[in-house]
Amino acid sequence: MKAAVVRAFGEPLVIEERPDPEPGPGQVRVRVEASGLCHTDIHAANGDWPVKPSPPFVPGHEGVGLVEALGDGVTHLAVGQRVAVPWLGKACGRCEHCLSGWETLCEQQINTGYGCDGGYAEKMLAWADFAQPVPEGISPLDAAPLTCAGVTTYKALKVAEVRPSQLVAISGVGGLGHLALQYAKIAGATVAAIDVTDDKLELAAELGADIVIDARKEDPGEVLKSHGGAHAAIALAVNEDAFSAVYKGLRRGGKLVLVAMPAHGTIPVPIFETVLNGISVIGSIVGTRQDLAEVFDLHAAGRTRVIRESRPLASVNESIDDVLHGRIQARIVFDFGEGS
């Protein structure tokens, strides 16, 4: 089987021929149909973060495909069933986080495409308990971006406790942001979308953003303040300054939800304003299996649109370059030929 492999940080990925992986106990082997390119995969390939993967590794945590082999003890999945393999490859199921509905915080978790090989491959392994069944009617090419971009932003809006009367700022209308915007609309909020490319700003308007802010020309904080200030801002742009920009646009009691993770990122949080204005700054990491099930249900019900372009895995390096230069619509999905 073919896989795109990170052999060294900051180097182009290499397409390699590898033997099919054999599922161990509790695992399944998935024949990948579609696999999304999340910006996290670029951070992984560059070794951007303090906790790093160990090359060589196969990135990708938006892999969707058909189960083709069952490891020992797997009884609830069947060969031929379509599953998605998210970032949360495995969690312990026993710790306080797992037991309290926060499996995404489990300290024993293994992350797909980071701590084990991921979805940039024709075949991949998944822990059966964390391989999410994809409902009938969702194409693999749509399911892929929902598997990280969808669940992460759906969760971020839950964490922000968004209500219909509220103004929500979506900072960055990329793979994550174009879905965040739709979930904020579904929650009934008034949505301000912020980006720095014409295409993304147009996309935001098309997806129903009530206020569109071009951060190249306007100060997002000022614009948000002119609308009374945001109740919540979801920070999805891979740019440190974008975090401070929306922080300044929060109203009293507002929440800044940190989701994007620019390399070596920090944000200055002014203590006086944060205390006086009762501001919350919250980190949000992906979502649980239940969150992903809800994301799939919403999509199956026709309530979200996945904006994506499909490409062959062989285009992986130019695709990464295109994401970094804003030359894509919203999400690139590698199509393994048997997708929708």
Q: Does residue 180 bind ligand NAD (CB under 6 A)?
A: no
Q: Does residue 308 bind ligand NAD (CB under 6 A)?
A: no
| Residues 248, 213: Cα–Cα separation, whole Å | 14
CA distances from 194 to 185, 201, 215 (A): 15, 7, 6
Other Cβ atoms closer than 10 A to 45: 27
Q: Does residue 285 bind ligand NAD (CB under 6 A)?
A: yes
Which span sits near ligand NAD by CB under 6 A: 14-22, 115-123, 184-192, 237-245? 237-245
Partner residues linked to 57 by β-bridges: 6
Structure token digits, residue 190? 């008034």
Report the nearest approach of ligand NAD to the CB of residue 38 (Å): 5
Q: Which does 106 bind (CB under 5 to 8 A by kind): ligand NAD, Zn ion, none?
A: Zn ion
x/- map, 46-65, ligand NAD, by CB under 6 A:
--------------------
Structure token digits, residue 149? 């971009």
Q: Which is nearer to Zn ion, 70 or 148 (CB)?
A: 148
Which span sits near ligand NAD by CB under 6 A: 20-28, 36-44, 120-128, 300-308? 36-44
Q: Does residue 239 bind ligand NAD (CB under 6 A)?
A: yes
Q: Which is nearer to ligand NAD, 27 or 132 (CB)?
A: 132
- One of 27, 35, 40, 310 touching ligand NAD (CB under 6 A): 40
> How many residues are listed for the chain in this entry?
340
Q: Does residue 159 bind ligand NAD (CB under 6 A)?
A: no
Q: Does residue 152 bind ligand NAD (CB under 6 A)?
A: yes
CB 175 within 8 A of CB 330: yes
| Residues 306, 181: Cα–Cα separation, whole Å | 12
Q: Does residue 319 bind ligand NAD (CB under 6 A)?
A: no
Q: Which is nearer to ligand NAD, 241 or 297 (CB)?
A: 241
CA gyration radius for the chain?
A: 19
Comparing CA positions, the residue from 11, 7, 17 lying closest to residue 123 is: 17
Report the nearest approach of ligand NAD to the CB of residue 247 (Å): 13
Binding site for Zn ion (CB under 5 A): 38, 40, 91-92, 95, 98, 106, 148
Q: Does residue 259 bind ligand NAD (CB under 6 A)?
A: yes
Q: Does residue 242 bind ligand NAD (CB under 6 A)?
A: yes
| Residues 226, 186: Cα–Cα separation, whole Å | 24
Q: Does residue 207 bind ligand NAD (CB under 6 A)?
A: no
Q: Does residue 238 bind ligand NAD (CB under 6 A)?
A: yes
Three-state DSSP state, 281: strand
E strand intervals along 146-249 = 167-171, 190-195, 211-214, 230-235
Which residues, 6 or more positions from 41, have their beta carbon under 8 angstroms from its beta carbon?
59, 60, 61, 113, 118, 120, 320
Structure token digits, residue 100? 């309290």
| List of residues contacting ligand NAD (CB under 6 A) | 38-40, 43, 148-149, 152, 171-177, 194-197, 200, 215, 236-239, 241-242, 259-261, 284-286, 323, 326
